[in-house]
Amino acid sequence: MPNKVKNMSEIKDLYIEQKNKYDSNLAELEVVEKRLKAYRDGLSSVIVKTINGNKYYYKQWRDDKKIHSELIGKVEPGAAADTEKEIIERKYLEKREKELKILLKILSTEIEELRKFALEPEIEENFTFEVFWKNELSARVSVRKNKVYVSRYIIHPVRQIFHADEITRNQLMEALKLRCLEEGRPDINEWLKYRGLNSYNPLEIVRKTHGVSYNDYIWIRFPGENLRAEDVLVRERM
């Protein structure tokens, strides 16, 4: 797989990973905020008051610059445990709320940057391939961004699929499209899925099919492929 496509795939995977983290953190934040609302605003401590010689636990909090307190009960081991647990959880939730908001802010920025690349079509800027008529080299194609250079070794209306030595990338895609199944076929989506393709991309299709047809003996070889006509042609050689 060419480096650019591989790198784009890594970016897309990272985008999905960070998006999932964002969604998970957002869901947790909603739960944290809901649980915080269940606690009294400002609940912060448990104090002991002595009244008529008896000791009592009180929960105490500050609200609108005023200190409020509420009786829990007489001081006994564990008598204030439930309130203490509430205070501990409240402090944890407040801390976690701040952490989640910071994480969401960071993830939001990362996701936006990754999205610019992850959702772009995976287009190779530079690549080459060869076109054969049976086992005879018909053309060698070199793509450099939007420029396509064609070295034509056979000038023939049937054995050659290119009309010029330099064409545009769009013209190249149209030429390759003629070596593919029709885009409007009712079963095209199933056909693409079976071959591991997500969309109708003539270049990726001919990578899978080598552009072979029942109508002629033309086929396409990409770098690294150790193939001959006998390996790919679908009609009997003449």
Q: In this structure, what is the dihedral angle of CA atoms 184, 189, 191, 194, given to the nearest 10 degrees?
A: 170
- Please identify every stretch of the chain with a pLDDT value under 50, giving residue numbers as ranges: 1-6, 238
Q: Give CA–CA dist 57/80, Å, rounded.
A: 7
Q: How many of the other CB atoms lie within 10 Å of CB of 236? A: 6
Say what the pLDDT of residue 1 is. 43
* Amino acid letter, residue 159: R
Judge whether 175 and 162 are in contact, CB under 8 Å: yes
Q: Give CA–CA dist 51/197, Å, rounded.
A: 79
CA 83 to chain CA centroid, Å, is: 45
pLDDT in tens, 58-103: 998 887 778 888 999 999 999 999 989 988 998 999 999 999 999 9
Written as six digits, the tokens of 3 are 């480096």
Say what the pLDDT of residue 163 is. 92
Across the beta sheet with 66-74, the strand order is: 43-51, 54-63, 66-74
* Amino acid letter, residue 84: E
Global pTM reads 0.52
Say what the pLDDT of residue 73 is. 95
